[in-house]
Every structure is written in structure tokens, then in C-alpha cells.
Amino acid sequence: MKKLLVLLMLASVMSVTLGSLVPVNASAENLECPTPKSLMLHSWYGVKNTELLAKELIANDLVTYTYSQIYELYDNGKCAPKNAVLISLDDFYSVYENKVLFDMANVFVDCGLVMTLGLITRTESYKQDLDIWDKLKDLQKNGFEIASHSSNHYNPYDLDERGLRDEIVGSHEIVCEYLGKCPETYILPYGAGWDYDILLRIAGERYRSVVSIAGPSTYSGQFFVMKRTSPGDRTPSETIKYMEVAFPWFPQVNGENTVSRKVRKINKILSGLKVPY
């Protein structure tokens, strides 16, 4: 029996050791990833700052991703690369046009970058502007993601389950109908509600993630809570530096940042180190 236990322990050590010597292709079931650098923009940021931000992203070798692209990577057992950055632009409406927002989005198109657009749909009682939907479809063809940003942009904490369903499910159905593709991402109004159990349950029925301001520093499982930050009054250059601090990264194994908490903890135990989790 003792020999059998020794053999089993050696096999475990070897599997962990081998796992650290080859690129990890962990299943999505066990994968835990650090949240990529994530920035939220609004119309007040303006076209000029967006142009400067785009130049800074390119100069710093950062690659823009949409949330949908993050889900696809995750489903294939991979975390986002370390140089990934998520840019979301909020408060598009499908019932009237905010020209500044479209001009900001087109800056990224011209630079070959992508972003996620937060769309407020209103309800079926409003007349949808088909010209706006056509513009959103064009941006989608350029690699942009159209996310739901609710029906009316109400504070989630002010709503009961019925109200949350009107905002979360109602907007989802309108986007599906008019865009021709259902949204996978729900951007929380006011960045609030990531810890609201009823909201998460309802959102989990239709979306892959909710995007918040506060939130965990990692994502895992089949439903994510993704945090992001605002540029505030920082310059684009300062914003890039700030995101490096605000979104810490896990150590990488052979260039692959697909390290789950379970594997990291086993490695720490085997190495004799005591690290709090």
C-alpha cells in the first residue's frame, strides 16, 4: 500500500511538472483568467481624446479585443493575451443618434481597432431608428461588438425581478430582432449590480457576462463578471499606465497565460511554499 501511495504521489508531481513544461491548453471548465485591461468611454471623452488614445494603444503594442472575442478564446481553453485591452463605448441609443459616439467609434475603424458598444434600446413602445441599426450593423462588420446596456438605463438596485427582466431580457430581444445577432454581453447601467444575485441569475439566462466597474480581478466558468475602469481626467498616455496597475496579471508559463487557481495552488504546495488564497 505504501509503495502504491508513493507511486501515485510521483505521478501527480510528474503531471504537474509536465504541465508547467508545455503550453497549457486547459479546458474552459477549470480555467481561471486575469481580467484584461478594460476601459469604459462615454461621449464626454470626445473624438480628439479617442484619436490620442488609439495612437497610444498602437504605440504600446496593445491589441483591442471585444468581450465576445474573450469568450471565444476562453471556450478554446485560453485566456486573453497579456497585451489585450477591452475598450467599451457606452450610451448609444437605438431610437435616436448621438453623432459624437459614432464619430468616436469611427476613429477606431480608421485605425483598424475594435471596441464594444453599449446600446440602450428603450422598449417596443418606442419607434426604433432603422438608420441607426444599419450603422450598428456596419460597425459589427468591422469587428465591433454590440452589447446590451439595458432598455432604459435604470439603476439596477432600484428594480425588483420584474423590472430587471424588462431591462435585461427586453433589451436582449430587441437587439436580437433588429441587429440580426443576439448580444452576449450586458453592460450594467451605472456599473452597478454585479453583486445583485437576482440580476446575475437573469443575466445568466441570456448573456455570457455582465460588465461592471467594481468586480473580481479574474473570470472563470460559463458566466463572467468583468470589471473596467474610467479614464477620468487622465491623459491617454496616463490612462495606459494606470490600466497596467489597475489590472494585475498572472505569471505566465511558456508564454501561455492559461493558469488556473487549482494548478497554481498545487504547484505552491509541492514547492513547499505557503501562500494565502
| pLDDT at residue 160 is higher than 60 | yes
Is 148 contained in some domain?
A: yes
11 assigned to some structural domain? no
Is residue 84 included in any domain, yes or no? yes
Q: Report the alpha-carbon distance of residue 276 to residue 273 in Å, rounded.
A: 10
Poorest-confidence range of 101-115, 121-135, 225-239, 251-265? Answer: 251-265
Cell numbers for 146: 454590440
Q: Is residue 179 part of a domain?
A: yes
Question: What is the tally of structural domains in the chain?
Answer: 1
- Of residues 147, 151, 223, 219, the one with CA closest to residue 182: 147
Q: Which three cell numbers stand for residue 169?
A: 431580457
State which residues form the domain around 40: 27-247
Provide the β-strand partners of residue 57.
Answer: none
Q: What is the mean pLDDT of the chain?
A: 85
Identify whether 107 is part of a domain: yes
DSSP summary character for residue 65: E
Q: Is the pTM of this model over 0.85?
A: no
pLDDT (tens digit per residue) in 8-51: 343 443 333 323 322 334 455 679 999 999 999 999 999 999 99
CB 144 within 8 A of CB 66: yes
CATH number at residue 174: 3.20.20.370
In a domain, 262, yes or no: no
- For 189-220, the pLDDT digits (tens) are 999 999 999 999 999 999 999 999 999 999 99
